[in-house]
Structures are given as structure tokens and as C-alpha cells.
């Protein structure tokens, strides 16, 4: 187990058994970005990215995992931390991206490691609610 500092942070917005992806040109990806070198709090940094990119104020954020990931706006993979976001306001604008249910994640164009993470988030959510 490691608490290695991630290079980037990304949010997995979860709502009504769906997850949110942004579009970067023709490629889908998650909202988020670089974890600044002098920053100390991962959740504060992620909240700032979500505010800048989606205009939302995130309230409930849970750490979910970390692995090498290349977001579509990056040239190379970076070690990235992923966090589920369960509560925010206001609602995400429709033109900001797309909500995906589990049946759409497989054909979403996301990298396999990210598809697995998103499906596991939704599967965990389903287990808690049934």
C-alpha cells in the first residue's frame, strides 16, 4: 500500500446510477487536472477543478483509487487519483458532457482501466441500494 502523491486528480460524479464524462474534442474523459506541486489537500484541489470546469461546488467527495491515466487533454499518462463526488450544486450543465449508465460505459471510448473503475463505482452503488 502506498500514499504516493498523484500528479493529477479527477472526479467521478455519480447521480442516479450514472457517471459523468466530459468531452475533450472527440475523446471522453473525467473532469479534473493537475495536482499543483505546492498544494496539500487533494479534495480542495479537486473542488477547484470542478468549479473551474463545470461551475459546480462539490460537497461530498470520497477517495476511490489511483493509477496511471492519460486524460485526453494531456500528452502522456500521469499517476492520477480518482475521487467519487456524490453531492454538488448547482446541477451540471447539459452541454458540459454526458451521463453514462453502466451499459454505455463499455462503448464510451474510455481506457479499460477507467471503464473498470467506473463500473465498479456503479456496481458498489447498486449493492448499497438493493
- Which pTM was predicted? 0.90
Q: Report whether 9 contacts 42 (CB < 8 A).
A: yes
- Whether 129 has a pLDDT exceeding 70, the answer reads no
Predicted pLDDT at 48: 97
Chain-centroid distance of CA 103 in Å reads: 18
Question: 56-96, pLDDT tens digit by residue?
Answer: 999 999 999 999 999 998 999 999 999 999 999 999 999 99
* DSSP string across 32-90: EEE--TT---HHHHHHHHHHHHH--EEEEEEEEEEEEE--TTSSS-EEEEEEEEEEEES
- Whether 127 has a pLDDT exceeding 60, the answer reads no
Residue 88 CA to residue 73 CA, distance in Å, equals 24
Instruction: Set out the domains of the chain in order of their start, with CATH numbers.
Output: 8-129 (3.90.79.10)
Confidence band of 130 (pLDDT split at 50, 70, 90): very low
Amino acid at each position: 500500500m502506498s500514499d504516493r502523491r498523484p500528479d493529477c486528480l479527477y472526479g467521478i460524479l455519480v447521480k442516479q446510477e450514472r457517471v459523468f464524462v466530459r468531452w475533450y474534442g472527440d475523446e471522453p474523459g473525467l473532469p479534473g487536472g493537475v495536482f499543483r506541486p505546492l498544494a496539500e489537500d487533494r479534495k480542495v484541489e479537486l473542488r477547484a477543478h470542478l468549479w473551474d470546469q463545470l461551475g459546480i461546488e462539490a460537497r461530498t467527495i470520497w477517495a476511490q483509487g489511483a493509477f496511471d491515466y492519460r486524460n485526453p487533454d494531456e500528452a502522456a499518462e500521469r499517476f492520477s487519483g480518482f475521487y467519487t463526488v456524490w453531492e454538488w450544486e448547482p446541477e451540471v450543465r447539459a452541454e458540459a458532457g454526458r451521463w453514462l449508465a453502466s451499459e454505455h460505459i463499455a462503448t464510451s471510448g474510455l481506457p479499460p482501466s477507467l471503464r473498470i473503475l467506473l463500473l465498479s463505482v456503479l456496481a458498489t452503488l447498486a449493492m448499497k441500494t438493493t
